[in-house]
Each structure stands twice: as structure tokens, then as C-alpha cells.
Chain A
Amino acid sequence: MSGINDFVVKFATVNGSGSASANGIFAKTLFRMGIPVSPKNIFPSNIQGLPTWYEVRVSEAGYLARRDGIDLMVAMNPQTFKEDLAEVVPGGWLLYDSTLPRLWPREDVTILGVPIAEMCAAKWQDTRQRQLFKNMVYVGALSALLDIDMDVLKGAVADQLKGKEKLVAANMDAVGLGRDYALKNFNCPLPIHLRHAEGAKGKILVSGNDAAGLGALYAGATVCAWYPITPSTSLAEAFERHAKRLRVTKDGRRLFGIVQAEDELAAIGVAIGGGWNGARAFTATSGPGISLMSEFLGLAYFAEVPVVLFNIQRGGPSTGMPTRTQQSDILSCAYASHGDTKHVLLFPANPTECFSMGAQAFDLAERLQTPVIVMSDLDIGMNDWVTEPFAWNDAHVHDRGKVLDAEQLEKFKDVRGRDWGRYQDVDEDAIPYRTLPGTHPTKGAFFTRGTSHDENARYTEDGVIHARVLDRIRRKFDTAQNFVPKPEVTIRDKSGKTGLIYFGATTPAVREALDALERDGVKVNALRIKAFPFTRDVASFCAMHERVFVVEQNRDAQMRSLLMTEAEVPGAKLIPALNYDGMPLTAAFVQGVVLKQLQPAKAAAE
């Protein structure tokens, strides 16, 4: 099934060996040739010396999920030779450094030996250079084997090493070594190779964390507090990088404040303090951080303080698999903290949505006066995706929600017909009016607290009032339905009885699987969840279908549980399709689950 512009290359290297930059150049070059690519970093939770892989799927058709079965393995790590060889499809290729030749126990794989270390030793004296340029030598060999456009490759190298012209020349020398060797010794190009294409034209190549950091900047966030944790670190760093470029006055004053906090409790505390005081404030974290932030999330929920939290999910439970992906914090985020709590969640499916939903999260948080959690994950957050360019409507007015200034406070009674009280539901949308510290000399002051309070923010132990306030806050969730993004529904068969619900990073795998199923005559309608609370569309989609697959990357079918509890979908209807090995989802997995259910005999035969 592989062929021109349709194959998977995998680089097996050692982390800390400098391969990341070479691999990045490779992917960028293909992208710039207009070819849809999806690079996936599979890396250890370690700084140096452990195996790391970089998988690049090439798909002119634009299928960018991870795909099993490697067509060409670049095996640079002796530690993993055995498993790397095993992954190559029959008829595939394996390139390795043949300075120390070895026998590869597979007849059905073509071995491409390139004496990389030997060539580098002959060319460079410095040991560091000898090591680093090895990576560009294999890129050079691939340029011949896969027929890479050399001008594009050179451009990508030059961009990566901007300002270091000497290094560009040296890197291109290394590319030349590998390329010449391959042209001389192998039949170039291989049957799987590249050609210019259109699919990636007009798109951008970017990671979700970079995009989300930029989204926060466009939202006007000024307070950011965070504590380092993979895979969310690069989000706060991206915010800082963009802010240092775009948010500094001519005289060097910063229009933002970033605190690298002492832990996640402090990180969310700083963000809540900022949100309470009228700044757009956020933090970014991952599983362990979510657990630590949970007490504060309950406070922000109950005291109705806007705050945005980016959760870049990773493999749990506990420290789990810090460098692998999962969607396993759905329940812990939907109901984070003790007591009756419920939080607004957004589910971006790609970096473009990390940007747009990342920005929208701030509008929602201020409109609804509550925490909003953006549920990204390691796959979207840390891998580069070919995605639609970012768009910003300059006419967009940031929704700052119901915040009263001094004049509005003075006229409140005249305009609204009653006195202001912090938690009064004046508009019957369950959203009260906020005031900020420092607004008015005599009006609008109140006490924010996580202890029970009445509609005027006064401490109470009266159970009737307590229940009344809790009920109003719950009703705010109904209002939220009108503001959160609606699900995306794809109908392939109007009278179809089978539906499938998915969200987030599994999107490319699901689309590919549903296309493949349709080609085989199995039409499945689909709904992509973009937010919690679910809008009515979710319940009606489930009502329309006899059975609905729920695709998610966790063990306990958390989204299915949420659908049962919150959209009241009967559990019998919801068929779990669960993957939780930490790897990005494949279309084959989705196809397998669907076929097993719909055509058990056929699935068994396959």
C-alpha cells in the first residue's frame, strides 16, 4: 500500500545525540515540498543516552495519523537494532551505519549500509562535529534515496541555522557525503519516494503548545504562572517567547508578568489571584499538576473567579508515562476538586484549534466567571502538525464578561432595578456581576471566599442559602452551552444506525478510519466533541443512532461515562473504543474496533 508520497520513515536514535535538529529539518523539507507529513517524537523521560524515535508519515492524501508498519527505518541506535528491524514491513528498507558491518537476520528487508562514522572521521577532526554531522549524513543519504528537492533541503537547513552561515555550509557538506554515497552505491530513488505535492501548501507546521501560548497572547493574557512539567513546559515557554517579541514597549517595559512558581499549587494560585484582580491569567500543566491544583480549582469554581488552565495530558496514573500521550484526565478535570464541582472543558484537535480555543478559553472564563480547562495532550502539544494557518479577526471584541466600572456601579440600581450584590442573578442567566478591587471608594467591595456565602458574598452557614447558591452555579453550566464551541458532525449515511464520537488528538485516525470503512461499504456517522458542557447536539446525535462508538485514549472510558452522566445517553448504546498504550492512535485501531462490532465474522477472518 505504500508508494510515492505515501510511506513511513522512522529514525531510531539516542537522545542527546543531536538527531532532533536533523530530523526536524527532514520533516520541514518534506512539508515545504507541499507534502502532508506528520512527524511524531517518541522520546524517553531522560536527557541523554536513552533510545528515542522520530516517526514521519508521508501521505499525499493527507492522512496524518500515526501508522504502524515502517517502510524505511534509519537505525542509528545499536541498543534497539532488534526491535527496529522487526518493525520494518516485508519489502521495506533499513539504513544503518555500516562502519561496523553487521548481519541483519531478515531476508525480506533491503539493508542499506552507509559507513557514516567512517566518512565523518575522515572529514572532521573534532569529535563533537564527527558525532553531530552523522545525523546530516543520513539525511543526505535519504535525499538521494527518497529524491528530496535539494534546494528545499538547503533552505530548511539555512532556516534552522539562521545567522550561522559557516554551520550551514558544514551541514550541507555532511548532506553531500551521504547523498553521494547513496547515489553511487544504491538504486536511487527507492520505489517509495517523494515528489512535489499540493496537500500541505498554504498550511503551517507547528506544535500545539506553541500555538496555545500564542493563543493566550492574542487573548490578552498578562499573568502567567507555571511549574515545569512535560509535556506542558513548552506552552509557557512559547508564551514567554512570543510575549518578549510582541509585548514589550519601546522603553523595554513588559506588558506581561510570568512567574515560574514553586509548584503547581502556587502556579494556579497566582493565576487565580490575577484573574480575581481583573487580569487575564493562566497556567499550564499536566496530570500530576492537575492533582495538585484541584483544591484551588474548587475555590475558583465556588468563588467564581475566571482562570484558564491548559492541561497537556500525558500517560497516567501517577507519574505514569511522562513522555507518552493519553486522554485520561477527562473525569478528573470535569469534576476537579471536592464537593459538587463541574468545569468547562475545551478539546482542541490540532494546533490551529489550540490557538483559537486557547484564546476563546479566556473569553469563556470571563464570561462565565469560572475556570476553563483546555484539554490538549502530548501528541498535539509537543509534535509538529501540518495544520491550517492561524487566523485572527481584528474585529473580534474580547469578551470581558460582566465587570462593573465605577460609573456602572453607581447607576446599577437605576439600570437594573435592584441593588448590586456580588452573587445576585440579575439577568437570570445565572451569571452575576463582578467588581474589581480599587474600583469605587464606597461601592462594590465584597469578600471573596471559598466558605459558603449568600448572594451578597456574606459568610453563611444557612443550608437553604448554601443550596440556592450551588443551584445557581449549576445553572451557569446551562448558560455555558450557549457559549462553548458546538460539536462537528459528519453524516456519511442519513439513515445510518451507527455513530462514532471522538475528540482531540484522535481526529486524524478517526477520519482516516471512517474513509477506509466507507470504501469497504461501512458508513459511520461521526461527531467530534469540542467542549464540555455538551450541547444538545451531542444528545440528539446519540438519539439518532442505535449504537455509538466512543473513541478515547484511556482505560476507563471516561468520556463515555461523562456522556452517560451528563448527556444521559444509555450506556448500552455506547461502545467503548479504548487505546491507552501512550502512542498516538492509528486508523487501523479504529477500523478494527468498528469492524469487530459490525462484522465480527469478517474481522475474525482478517
Chain B
Amino acid sequence: MSYIAKPSAHHPALPKNALGLTRRDYEGTMSTLCAGCGHDSITAALIEACFEMDLPAHRIAKVSGIGCSSKAPTYFLSRSHGFNSVHGRMPSISTGANLANRDLVYIGVSGDGDTASIGLGQFCHAVRRRVNMTYIVMNNGCYGLTKGQFSATNDKLSPSKKGEPNPFEAIDLCQMAIQLGAGFVARSFSGDKTQLIPLIKAAISYNGFAFLDVISPCVTFNNHPTSTKSYDYVRAHNMASENKLDYVEPKDEITVDYAEGASAAIALHDGSRLVLHKLDPQHDPRDADAAIMAIRGNSAKGQVATGLLYIAESQQDMHDILATDARPLNALPMAELCPGSKALEAINGRLR
């Protein structure tokens, strides 16, 4: 089927945000994914996060690769430009787009196949370059769109629908992202929107490379109870309570009181703050080594560490590193870009 538009009539009583927009204004076209697909829940969380943050949708650019997950940007933010590129290459498109205009918010959406296999190289290098973006992997442990083959993030020995165990080691994208220098690394679950929405908000507010690995069950191919990427399994083994986080809008006061020593507030670039609480004493998310230990420790016990895993309180992004102008490169007037005939005469002179 082709494209399914949503009715655009709005209920007058729908709540509005500071921009006078309703949630509907942040939606996209009707999803064509399977009913119950985790990706749709992440889409809903993204809509909610952008609505609540009062983001002007047209200042957001959505970029994706190929896969069921990469289709998702069509289903949110229809007022944003989107670019559904080629398989595994979302990072390079995002890098170029960001280079051209540093002032937009970039939301990259990818799948575990898109990122951990065909696009693994591009993923690593986008992290290294610290592209200022939110990079979301909708991680279902399989290739949904090509009908359920194991992906590289699927846990070793986790069985397929037919019961065959996956013989290969899993790639843990969060660990990789931390090692490669991502400034913000979190893992979440499509079924836990109370955790997911603040994480998305924090990731968008973060200045630098923010990585979100969201376990997102594929109900059609990889949701049998024995699969480690199924709703049942993740619900039973989610260690979300280990570190919880509140996202506090720039305009809001921090009102909740936290027990001494059990909370930490982190100020973000745009004036918003993150309040971390119920921290596992073993795990301060500002410590990269501790973060990796927490991921590995949980994983060894068959558990999934979710929440904010790592944050560098500030990060130099690609533009800082490249020393580019504060103005977007795509907005510079030609008069400043083209040196003109006089400078060319001087160059000719040097070549004589």
C-alpha cells in the first residue's frame, strides 16, 4: 500500500503546547508497521517528547536508513523535512546535513541491522566525529523488513522463531558508543514510555552525539518469549530501576527532593537539566568505565541495563572541532564564499 494520510481536523479541546500546537501537529502519516511493533511506541514517545519540549517541528530534520525502523520518521513530525536514505548510511547523510546547517535539531533513526551490520562503520565514525544529533536505534535483534533474519545485536544463543539458537556474539552498541566517544549514551525499552520520553528529551537537548538504543520488539519475527528481544523477556529482566532520570525543562524548577547523595543534577546546553536519582552506588553515569561495567555486569546475569548509561557533561561537537563559523554554512552569502577576480589574479601571479 502507498501512503495513508491522517484526517487533519483537530478536536478543539486538544491540549496545546507553548507554540500553540497540539500533539497532532507533531504526528506523521499513518503507520504501516505491524500492529504492536515496538517501533510505533518509540514513534509515539518521540511525538510526545517534541510536543512537550515545545520544539518547532520545522527546525528538526529526520534522517534514516532502510528497514521497518527507518520507515518510522514518516510517522512522526510531518512538518519536518525527512530523508530516508540508503541502507546503513544514515550517519553520513546526517553528518553532511549537520555540516551544512548546525542550527537544526537532527534526529537519526536506524535499525539494528542498519546500524550494527551494514552501517557499523558509518555509525562508529559519526560517533567519533561527534555529530550533534540524537541517534536512535530501534533494536529488535532481527531484520524486520527482510523477514526476520538474526541481526548482529541479537544475543548469543537467543533462539529464532523456529527455535534455532543464534551462534554468534552480540554487538553491544551502547558499549561501542561509549568507547568511541559518544557524550550521551542510554538504553531503553519501547514498552517503558515513562523512561523513554525523558531520555529522548535529554538526548535532543544534549549538545554533542547522543545515542539511544531502544529495545523494540518485532512482534512478527522475534517476539517469542524465549527471544531476549521480546516484550516478555525485557519486562522480566529490565534493570531500569538502577538509574532513573528526570528531564527538567529550562522553564521548570527542580521541585522534587531527592535523598542526599542519591541524586545529581546535570545542566544541559539549552538550559534544561537532568536529575539522576536512585543511582546504583556502583554506577555513576559520568564514569565511562563504570558504565561499561554496569552494562557487562547486567548482561552476564541475563539482565538488561536501561536508563542513562553514560553522560559527558559537556562535549565539543563536530563544528567545534572543525572550527566552523557560528552561522550555518548553507546560509553564508556568496560574497563571503567566492574570493572574486582580484584574488584570482594574485593566484595566477603565483603560478607564473
Residues of A within 8 A of B (CB): 32, 203-206, 214, 217-223, 225, 246-247, 249, 252-259, 261-263, 265-279, 281, 295-296, 299, 389-394, 398, 435-442, 445-451, 454, 458-462
> How does the 8 Å CB contact mask read for B59-101 relative to A, with 1 for contact and 0 for none?
1010100000000011000111111111001011111111111
Can you list 27 A-B pairs, Cβ within 8 angstroms, ordered by A? Answer: A203-B352, A204-B352, A214-B347, A217-B339, A220-B337, A222-B337, A253-B323, A254-B322, A255-B325, A257-B99, A257-B318, A259-B96, A261-B92, A265-B89, A266-B121, A273-B63, A278-B330, A278-B331, A391-B344, A437-B101, A446-B81, A447-B73, A447-B81, A448-B83, A448-B84, A450-B85, A461-B1
Would A437 and B322 count as touching, CB distance under 8 A?
no
Would A281 and B100 count as touching, CB distance under 8 A?
yes
Q: CA–CA, A328 to B83, complex, Å?
A: 33
B79 surroundings in chain A (CB, below 8 A)? 441-442, 445
A390 surroundings in chain B (CB, below 8 A)? 344, 347-348
Closest beta carbon of chain A to B40's beta carbon, Å? 17
Which DSSP category, helix, strand, loop or mixed, fits chain B's interface? helix
Would B93 and A222 count as touching, CB distance under 8 A?
no
Would A279 and B334 count as touching, CB distance under 8 A?
no
Would B352 and A205 count as touching, CB distance under 8 A?
yes
B324 at the interface (CB under 8 A from A): yes
Would A441 and B58 count as touching, CB distance under 8 A?
yes
Within 8 A of A (CB), among B172-224: none
Q: Are A249 and B97 CB-contacts (below 8 A) given A217-B339, A448-B84? A: no
**Quick one: which of A204, A217, A435, A436 contacts B351, CB cutoff 8 A?**
A204
A275 surroundings in chain B (CB, below 8 A)? 96, 100
B104 at the interface (CB under 8 A from A): yes
B352 surroundings in chain A (CB, below 8 A)? 32, 203-205
Closest beta carbon of chain B to A553's beta carbon, Å? 27
Q: Are A256 and B324 CB-contacts (below 8 A) given A278-B101, A462-B2? A: yes
Would B339 and A271 count as touching, CB distance under 8 A?
no
A450 surroundings in chain B (CB, below 8 A)? 84-86
**Quick one: which of B61, B99, B319 contacts A437, CB cutoff 8 A?**
B61
Would B348 and A269 count as touching, CB distance under 8 A?
no
Q: CA–CA, A394 to B339, complex, Å?
A: 9
B256 at the interface (CB under 8 A from A): no
**Quick one: which of B129, B324, B344 contacts A218, CB cutoff 8 A?**
B344
> How does the 8 Å CB contact mask read for B115-141 relative to A, with 1 for contact and 0 for none?
000000110110001000000000000
B148 at the interface (CB under 8 A from A): no
Would A438 and B95 count as touching, CB distance under 8 A?
no
Would B329 and A223 count as touching, CB distance under 8 A?
yes
Would A262 and B122 count as touching, CB distance under 8 A?
yes
**Quick one: which of B98, B103, B351 contacts A438, CB cutoff 8 A?**
B103
Q: CA–CA, A393 to B340, complex, Å?
A: 8
Closest beta carbon of chain B to A401's beta carbon, Å? 13
A219 surroundings in chain B (CB, below 8 A)? 338
Q: CA–CA, A448 to B3, complex, Å?
A: 14
B56 surroundings in chain A (CB, below 8 A)? 441
B332 at the interface (CB under 8 A from A): yes
Nearest CB to that of B21 among chain A residues?
A441
B347 surroundings in chain A (CB, below 8 A)? 214, 390
Q: CA–CA, A100 to B192, complex, Å?
A: 83
**Quick one: which of A206, A276, A393 contacts B93, CB cutoff 8 A?**
A276
B260 at the interface (CB under 8 A from A): no
B257 at the interface (CB under 8 A from A): no
**Quick one: which of B81, B100, B340 contacts A392, CB cutoff 8 A?**
B340
Q: Are A276 and B83 CB-contacts (below 8 A) given A252-B323, A265-B122? A: yes
Q: CA–CA, A278 to B103, complex, Å?
A: 13
Q: A223-B329, A258-B322, A272-B92 are in contact. List 18 more A-B contacts (CB 8 A).
A: A218-B339, A220-B337, A225-B92, A254-B324, A254-B325, A255-B337, A257-B318, A269-B85, A269-B93, A269-B96, A270-B93, A273-B99, A274-B99, A278-B331, A441-B79, A449-B84, A451-B84, A459-B74
Nearest CB to that of A252 among chain B residues?
B323
**Quick one: which of A257, A278, A439 contacts B324, CB cutoff 8 A?**
A257
B78 surroundings in chain A (CB, below 8 A)? 445
Would B326 and A246 count as touching, CB distance under 8 A?
no
Nearest CB to that of A298 among chain B residues?
B86
Would B334 and A273 count as touching, CB distance under 8 A?
no
Q: Are A261 and B2 CB-contacts (below 8 A) given A223-B99, A252-B323, A389-B348? A: no
Closest beta carbon of chain A to B285's beta carbon, Å? 28
Q: CA–CA, A450 to B94, complex, Å?
A: 16
Closest beta carbon of chain A to B127's beta carbon, Å? 11
Q: CA–CA, A440 to B56, complex, Å?
A: 10
Closest beta carbon of chain A to B220's beta carbon, Å? 20
Q: CA–CA, A220 to B332, complex, Å?
A: 9
Q: CA–CA, A1 to B284, complex, Å?
A: 83
B341 at the interface (CB under 8 A from A): yes
Would A273 and B2 count as touching, CB distance under 8 A?
no
Would A460 and B100 count as touching, CB distance under 8 A?
no
8 nearest A-B residue pairs (beta carbon): A273-B96, A269-B92, A279-B100, A437-B81, A270-B96, A277-B100, A204-B351, A278-B330
**Quick one: which of A259, A449, A451 contacts B129, CB cutoff 8 A?**
A259
Q: CA–CA, A441 to B325, complex, Å?
A: 25
B336 at the interface (CB under 8 A from A): yes
B343 at the interface (CB under 8 A from A): yes
Closest beta carbon of chain A to B47's beta carbon, Å? 15
Q: CA–CA, A218 to B63, complex, Å?
A: 30
B58 surroundings in chain A (CB, below 8 A)? 437-442, 445
Closest beta carbon of chain B to A396's beta carbon, Å? 8
B83 surroundings in chain A (CB, below 8 A)? 273, 276, 447-449
Would B341 and A222 count as touching, CB distance under 8 A?
no
Q: CA–CA, A464 to B94, complex, Å?
A: 32
Closest beta carbon of chain A to B190's beta carbon, Å? 23
Closest beta carbon of chain A to B210's beta carbon, Å? 18
Would B329 and A222 count as touching, CB distance under 8 A?
yes
Closest beta carbon of chain A to B301's beta carbon, Å? 35
Closest beta carbon of chain B to A299's beta carbon, Å? 5
Would A204 and B348 count as touching, CB distance under 8 A?
yes
A253 surroundings in chain B (CB, below 8 A)? 323-326
Most chain B CB within a 10 A radius of its CB, from A203, A221, A253:
A253
Q: Are A299 and B85 CB-contacts (below 8 A) given A255-B332, A394-B340, A436-B330? A: yes
Q: CA–CA, A398 to B95, complex, Å?
A: 25
B322 surroundings in chain A (CB, below 8 A)? 254, 257-258
Within 8 A of A (CB), among B290-341: 318-319, 322-326, 329-332, 334, 336-341
Nearest CB to that of A248 among chain B residues?
B323
**Quick one: which of A258, A263, A437, A439 contacts B97, CB cutoff 8 A?**
A437
Q: CA–CA, A524 to B329, complex, Å?
A: 50
Q: CA–CA, A453 to B329, complex, Å?
A: 29
Q: Are A222 and B85 CB-contacts (below 8 A) given A392-B341, A445-B58? A: no
Closest beta carbon of chain B to A434's beta carbon, Å? 10
**Quick one: which of A249, A398, A435 contacts B325, CB cutoff 8 A?**
A249
Most chain A CB within a 10 A radius of its CB, from B92, B125, B339, B344:
B92
Would B340 and A259 count as touching, CB distance under 8 A?
no
Q: CA–CA, A463 to B122, complex, Å?
A: 33
B340 surroundings in chain A (CB, below 8 A)? 392, 394
Nearest CB to that of B325 among chain A residues?
A253
A256 surroundings in chain B (CB, below 8 A)? 324, 329
Most chain A CB within a 10 A radius of its CB, from B99, B101, B347:
B99
Closest beta carbon of chain B to A163's beta carbon, Å? 14
Q: CA–CA, A32 to B350, complex, Å?
A: 12
Q: CA–CA, A297 to B344, complex, Å?
A: 32
A296 surroundings in chain B (CB, below 8 A)? 86, 89
A204 surroundings in chain B (CB, below 8 A)? 348, 351-352
Q: CA–CA, A445 to B82, complex, Å?
A: 8
B318 surroundings in chain A (CB, below 8 A)? 257
